[in-house]
Amino acid sequence: MRQEDGNDRELASLVVEMIRKVQSGERSLEDFDVRLLTSGVYIHGLRKWGQEWPMEQLLLLQAETLFSEPRATVERILNFLNIQAMRRLPSHTPTRRLHGCASRRITSPSFCERHDDACLPSFTR
């Protein structure tokens, strides 16, 4: 079973439960924030984007993949944009989780000034 199938079933069961509560009078529709159900549903926006641009010009990425495989994700983006790969990607080590998102160690602004050759792609030189 794919992860998406499990997520779809979980979302469907939440919707069914919400409908049951509204129909029974246990809750009113105003009790629910519908944005919670639709905040991760991008298909409607993607359809509009697909009407404006060819799908081969759009790159869809999952945040989970970015957080779990940052180097591979950056390489995928660079390949998609037809940009030469960076000579050396800076390391990324999540140090804590903040509001469900990976957070990286913050360095002083001077770090980037001292190491810009490691942070910038070769085409900027």
Q: What is the mean pLDDT of residues 52-57?
A: 88
Same domain, 73 and 26: no
Q: Which residues contact 64 (CB under 8 A, 6 or more apart)?
A: none
Same domain, 123 and 98: yes
What's the pTM value of the predicted model, to 2 decimals? 0.41
Instruction: Compare 54 and 1 and report the one with higher pLDDT.
Output: 54
Residue 46 maps to a domain? no
Please give the Cα distance from 80 to 74 (Å, whole number): 10
Give the pLDDT confidence score for residue 8 in this predicted structure: 76
Give the pLDDT confidence score for residue 36 in this predicted structure: 62
The whole-chain average pLDDT of the chain stands at: 71
Q: What is the mean pLDDT of residues 22-45?
A: 75
Give the pLDDT confidence score for residue 120 in this predicted structure: 46
Q: Give the three-class secondary structure for 112.
A: helix
Q: Range of 25's domain?
A: 1-41
